[in-house]
A and B are shown apart, each in its own frame.
Chain A
Amino acid sequence: DIQMTQSPSSLSASVGDRVTITCRASQSISKYLNWYQQKPGKAPKLLIFAASNLQSGVPSRFSGNESGTDFTLTISSLQPEDFATYHCQQSYTTPYTFGQGTKLEIK
């Protein structure tokens, strides 16, 4: 199975901050990396698919990038509604695997 490692596991930041979350794949996954946002008690919501494509309706402050087996999710200016847990997922091959999640908390 392809292992997905997210860093950091948790992050404290303030409204207006720029934050970056990283996801590293244990092998090449081409561009097939997806990002989800999950709020407490809610289902995950797709933010970005195929590394850098913004899902319809997702604010443009969210962006994704790739460099080899390293992928980043950047939020350019944190808003109060962005405090949540973020998950990455590789869809290069089955079994699809997820990172362990990054919890973004208010400082």
Chain B
Amino acid sequence: QVQLQESGPGLVKPSETLSLTCVVSGYSISSGYYWGWIRQPPGKGLEWIGSLYHSGTTYYNPSLKSRVTTSVDTSKNQFSLKLSSVTATDTAVYYCARRYSKGWFDPWGQGTLVTVSS
């Protein structure tokens, strides 16, 4: 059974960089599939941030592309997200998920709330 778990600071100051990690268990990242990040501001809808493959191929939402960096660590079976120059509008629950070839996400991690505030 594939499981994903996000981790990282719950509070980030404005203008700093948000950093999150997603640890995958029950499946080897290097075996295939894309992996993704999605976020949900409090009380709002879902926003796709980006997807990445273990080889390094990435796809980012153009609205965030200039601030997003992702990476994969196959030795630790995890992948990461960095979002730079954050503002209060980046406050959200951040989810990691496995992405199937045709673009749907399953399963998802439980999510982690990141608040941007001084």
Contacts and interface: CB of A to CB of B under 8 A. Distances in A.
Please report whether the interface of chain B is mostly helix, strand, loop or mixed according to DSSP.
loop
Contact of B45 (A50, A91, A96, A99): A99
Contacts of B45: 87, 98-101
Interface residues of A, number: 23
Contacts of B51: 94
Please report whether the interface of chain A is mostly helix, strand, loop or mixed according to DSSP.
loop
Interface string B93-118: 00101001011111111110000000
A97 B103 contact: no
Interface residues of B, number: 22
B66 to A, nearest CB: 14
B61 interface: yes
B102 A44 contact: no
B59 interface: yes
B2 interface: no
Interface string B34-75: 000000000001111001000000010111000000000000
Which 6 pairs across A and B sit closest by C-beta, in order of nearness?
A91-B103, A46-B106, A43-B108, A96-B48, A34-B104, A98-B46
18 contacts: A32-B102, A36-B105, A43-B108, A44-B46, A46-B107, A49-B102, A50-B102, A55-B106, A89-B46, A89-B48, A89-B104, A91-B102, A91-B104, A92-B103, A97-B48, A98-B48, A101-B45, A101-B46
